[in-house]
Chains A and B, each alone.
Chain A
């Protein structure tokens, strides 16, 4: 009987495996989740929404801390924050300072065409084609360096004009996706290094909401 009790205790304790070396998850549950947030559109809105819902599952209230990405990461590494949301990419240079979650949404930079016929043409060959891109954006940079297309920098992307955009904007602009992919970004959040219970709990939450995250992004993302 006692053996069963011991086994049961192990199993119950095993519910929280892996554990946090610094006990972040236990502290946050029913307490306060300290979230660092960087003002990056559209990610701020998307990630604020996701994290608010995450905090609700933990019965935690949120303390928002705004700052630049590097300030927030420094605070996170020093365990002054529990989560940082800043539109982070899995390929970001923070790998050694913080633990990044699995990507909860993957965004591709693609070239969108106004109609199917143009899409087929652009899929085959970009040389000499005039492609719009938001001025001074990473899409414009990729287009410039990786393709032979003629970059047309614009302040505001117009619907129905062939453009290099992130894929969640295609619908808003009424564009058809071509096979020309410029780049891919896997978006993730950051938690303190080694706080594996926290990491795993947040990852589980996010992995279950990939479609929802995509929906939020399409709603919040504006050209």
Chain B
């Protein structure tokens, strides 16, 4: 047998993966342009500050993805015998925490400003010889930050599904949510223009709530991965379909009396370990059975890697939910 950690990306997905990497480079370059554009038009608007923070933080997932791209292919070594699949998760957690804290800060700051009745001043600026109200430039910067990212986000969602890549998916979700942030900020800035001073802070609170929600969701997801929660779907909406499929395969192994199936995510791949109690511990073909079982699980899907089947005499106190008891199909064999 080959040492467990198999391919990081299967050859048939190589093209998809390369597209994702290219798209993330484009995202980083584009986001930096949006961050700069908003920075120079920030003024005193609270909503603009929110939009800026969100754009700045949306740099975290693509950068995490690109850094991981450099290290994920490393072979396991003596320091990291499980390989480097989880390199991504560390970055993912850090990014999620940053989101959460920023969202809370923005809400707090804006509520204070709203309560203090602070009116945001937006004055004139001079670009070369052209005098223009800063509010118009803010609106232009917000539109620039919103529209292209909406399209990039949609493309990324598709790629993330194929690659089962959480960071890519979180990134896509944030990109798609960006138009909301920009929209809220637009309402705030246009509101200031009409003399409705409180719309700015109110919009910033909405943006803050959105950032906090994303941050909370991804912090939970990243934490769950780090404590080896069972594999969930990309959008965290439920258990990953492969869990059921692996259970089915194990359930069809007629040499097994009972088995505990444990699955966890290693970055974007899924690791499986099966503790099996054989019906006939002295069966000389046991080794073949085990190898066959590993093979069958591995061929289910490329994401299933680091598959280990261990034979044990008994399984005491295993949680009932992860146990599989194959029915004896003596008639078939």
Contact B121 A21 (CB under 8 A): no
**CA–CA, A102 and B123, complex, Å:** 8
Contact B195 A20 (CB under 8 A): yes
Given A18-B192, A20-B195, A102:B120 Cβ within 8 A: no
**CA–CA, A192 and B122, complex, Å:** 11
Interface residues on A, range: 20 to 34
User: Binary interface profile of A, 184-219, with partner B (CB < 8 Å = 1, else 0)?
Assistant: 000000011111110110011001000000000000
Does A99 reach chain B (CB closer than 8 Å)? Answer: yes
Of residues 104 through 158 on chain B, the ones whose CB sits less than 8 Å from some CB of chain A are: 118-126, 131, 133, 135
Taking CB as reference atom, which chain A residue is nearest B198? A21
Per CB-CB distance, the 7 closest pairs between chain A and chain B, nearest first, are: A194-B119, A99-B121, A19-B195, A203-B124, A18-B193, A21-B197, A21-B195
**CA–CA, A195 and B121, complex, Å:** 7
Chain B residues closer than 8 Å to A194, beta-carbon distance = 118-121, 192, 197
Contact sample, A vs B, 15 pairs, CB 8 Å cutoff: A18-B192, A18-B194, A21-B119, A99-B44, A101-B123, A102-B123, A102-B124, A194-B120, A194-B121, A196-B122, A196-B193, A197-B195, A199-B122, A200-B133, A204-B131
A18 contacts which of B118, B122, B125, B126 (Cβ < 8 Å)? B122
Chain A residues closer than 8 Å to B44, beta-carbon distance = 99
Contact B124 A193 (CB under 8 A): no
Interface residues of B (CB under 8 A from A): 44, 118-126, 131, 133, 135, 192-197
**CA–CA, A102 and B44, complex, Å:** 14
Chain B residues closer than 8 Å to A191, beta-carbon distance = 121
Given A18-B135, A204-B131, A207-B131, A196:B123 Cβ within 8 A: yes
Q: Which of A194, A200, A207 has the most CB atoms of chain B within a 10 A radius of its CB? A: A194
Chain A residues closer than 8 Å to B125, beta-carbon distance = 102
Contact A195 B122 (CB under 8 A): no
Chain B residues closer than 8 Å to A23, beta-carbon distance = 195
Of residues 123 through 137 on chain A, the ones whose CB sits less than 8 Å from some CB of chain B are: none
Interface residues of A (CB under 8 A from B): 17-21, 23, 99, 101-102, 191-197, 199-200, 203-204, 207
A200 contacts which of B119, B124, B197 (Cβ < 8 Å)? B124
Chain B residues closer than 8 Å to A17, beta-carbon distance = 133, 193-194
Taking CB as reference atom, which chain B residue is nearest A19? B195
Taking CB as reference atom, which chain A residue is nearest B131? A207
Chain B residues closer than 8 Å to A18, beta-carbon distance = 122, 133, 135, 192-195
Contact B123 A199 (CB under 8 A): yes
Contact A21 B193 (CB under 8 A): no
Contact B121 A199 (CB under 8 A): yes
Closest Cβ–Cβ distance, residue B274 to chain A (whole Å): 64
**CA–CA, A63 and B125, complex, Å:** 29
Chain A residues closer than 8 Å to B123, beta-carbon distance = 99, 101-102, 196, 199-200, 203
Closest Cβ–Cβ distance, residue A104 to chain B (whole Å): 11
Chain A residues closer than 8 Å to B193, beta-carbon distance = 17-19, 196
Taking CB as reference atom, which chain A residue is nearest B44? A99
A21 contacts which of B124, B131, B133, B196 (Cβ < 8 Å)? B196
A195 contacts which of B118, B119, B124 (Cβ < 8 Å)? B119
Contact A204 B197 (CB under 8 A): no
Taking CB as reference atom, which chain A residue is nearest B123? A199
Known: A101-B123, A102-B124, A194-B118. 5 other contacts (CB 8 A): A102-B123, A191-B121, A196-B193, A196-B195, A197-B195
Closest Cβ–Cβ distance, residue A204 to chain B (whole Å): 6
Chain B residues closer than 8 Å to A19, beta-carbon distance = 193-195
**CA–CA, A20 and B135, complex, Å:** 14
**CA–CA, A195 and B123, complex, Å:** 9
Closest Cβ–Cβ distance, residue A200 to chain B (whole Å): 5
**CA–CA, A200 and B121, complex, Å:** 10
Contact A193 B122 (CB under 8 A): no
B192 contacts which of A101, A196, A203 (Cβ < 8 Å)? A196
**CA–CA, A18 and B125, complex, Å:** 14
**CA–CA, A200 and B193, complex, Å:** 11
Chain A residues closer than 8 Å to B124, beta-carbon distance = 102, 199-200, 203-204, 207
**CA–CA, A115 and B131, complex, Å:** 39
Chain A residues closer than 8 Å to B120, beta-carbon distance = 193-194
**CA–CA, A33 and B310, complex, Å:** 87
**CA–CA, A200 and B118, complex, Å:** 18
